[in-house]
Amino acid sequence: MKNRTKYILAIVTAIVVAAIAIPLYVKSQHTTFRAEVTDHMTMLDKIRLLEISKVERELYDSEEVQLEDPKQIQDILKLFKDVELQNVKQVGSDQDLPYYYQVRILVIKEDRFSEQLGISLYSDNTMAIYNSAATRDAHKSYKITNEFNFNELERIFNKLKEEAA
Predicted local confidence at residue 28, as pLDDT: 63
CA-based radius of gyration for the chain = 21
* pLDDT band at residue 92 using 50, 70 and 90 as cut-offs: low
Higher pLDDT, 107 or 92: 107
**The domain containing residue 59 runs over which residues?**
32-164
> Quick check: helix, strand or coil at residue 83?
coil
Residues 32-51 have a mean pLDDT of 79
- Whether 9 maps to a domain, the answer reads no
- Whether 25 maps to a domain, the answer reads no
H or E element that contains 156: helix 150-164
* pLDDT band at residue 95 using 50, 70 and 90 as cut-offs: low
Q: Which of the residue ranges 5-9, 56-60, 75-79, 137-141 would you say has the lowest mean pLDDT?
A: 56-60
Closest CA to 55 of 103, 126, 96, 115: 103
- Whether 3 maps to a domain, the answer reads no
Is residue 56 scored above 80 in pLDDT?
yes
- Whether 117 maps to a domain, the answer reads yes
Predicted local confidence at residue 116, as pLDDT: 84
Predicted local confidence at residue 1, as pLDDT: 59
- Whether 1 maps to a domain, the answer reads no
Is residue 93 scored above 60 in pLDDT?
no
Buried b (16+ CB within 10 A) or exposed e, 95-125: eeeebbbbbbbbbeeeeeeebebbbbbbbbb
H or E element that contains 90: none
- The 10s digit of each residue's pLDDT in 101-132 is 899 988 887 777 778 888 888 888 888 888 88
Predicted local confidence at residue 109, as pLDDT: 79
Q: Residue 121: give its domain's CATH number.
A: 3.30.1490
- Whether 76 maps to a domain, the answer reads yes
- Whether 8 maps to a domain, the answer reads no
Residues 133-162 have a mean pLDDT of 84
pTM over 0.85: no
Q: Number of folded domains in the chain?
A: 1
Mean pLDDT over each residue of the chain, to the nearest integer: 82
- Whether 13 maps to a domain, the answer reads no
Predicted local confidence at residue 27, as pLDDT: 63
